[in-house]
Amino acid sequence: MGFFGDLKEDVVGFVRDPTDEQKALFVAVVVMLIADRALWWVDFPFVVRTTAAVGVGFIGLFVASYILTGQFVPPDGDADEDEPEEYVDEMDP
């Protein structure tokens, strides 16, 4: 279908039945927008204001992820916790 067809499917999927990841990212974007507009009235330089808004967005992302999934980091489905994997140094010949 191409780029625009895939984009249309993603948008329709987000509107009709969003995944937990999409919900968390949407919350992060909204939190960033609100933080940026709230910091607009403070006399900060643009870079400082934008960096602070992105930081607040990350905090919002982690909070939304925790609320949606009940944990901060998703489990690694293929990791065997009984046996630790042997470390292999890729740079050692």
Quote the Cα angle for 17-21-22, to 5°. Answer: 50
DSSP state of 84: P
Which of 16-20, 26-30, 76-80 is predicted least confidently? 76-80
State the average pLDDT over residues 68-90: 67
| Tokens 């916790």 sit on residue | 81
Dist CA 15 CA 50 (whole Å): 28
Dist CA 37 CA 35 (whole Å): 5
- Rounded mean pLDDT of the chain? 83
pTM of the entire structure?
A: 0.67
Lookup: tokens for 49: 């204001």
| Res. 90 pLDDT band, cuts 50 70 90 | confident
Instruction: Please state the φ and ψ torsions of residue 34, each to the nearest 5 degrees.
Output: -65, -45
| Res. 51 pLDDT band, cuts 50 70 90 | very high
